[in-house]
Amino acid sequence: MLRDFRQGGPAAIAKVRKHQPAAYMKICALLVPKEMKLEHSGGVKAMTTEQIERGIELIKEMLAEREAEANAKVIEGEAMPSLPAPTAVNAKSS
């Protein structure tokens, strides 16, 4: 299946999406699990002090990156053509 998908999958999916949208949506729906079981595993109370401290460090790093991205200045410009090559000046014509 993987080999078939790699060889023609994206094109086949696009073709089905375009020409048979109902079949495409049915396939999409079949890919979603009908039931999903989630279990809570202790959360912060189960973490060691080191794990909590590392988690806080990671959150601070993510927030700093987000703030840096928000404050980044974008410089927009337009490329200018380069100047023409200088021409040789005839010294005898003076």
Can you count the helices (H) and strands (E) in the chain? Answer: 3, 0
For range 11-20, the mean pLDDT = 90
pLDDT at residue 94 tops 60: no
pLDDT in tens, 27-57: 888 888 888 787 777 788 888 999 999 999 9
Q: Is residue 19 within 8 Å of 8, Cβ to Cβ?
A: no
pTM of the model: 0.36
What is each CA distance from 80 to 9, 77, 83, 84, in whole angstroms?
44, 9, 9, 12
- State the pLDDT confidence band at 69, using cuts at 50, 70 and 90: confident
Tell me the Ramachandran region of residue 18: left when phi exceeds 0, alpha when psi lies from -120 to 50, beta otherwise: alpha
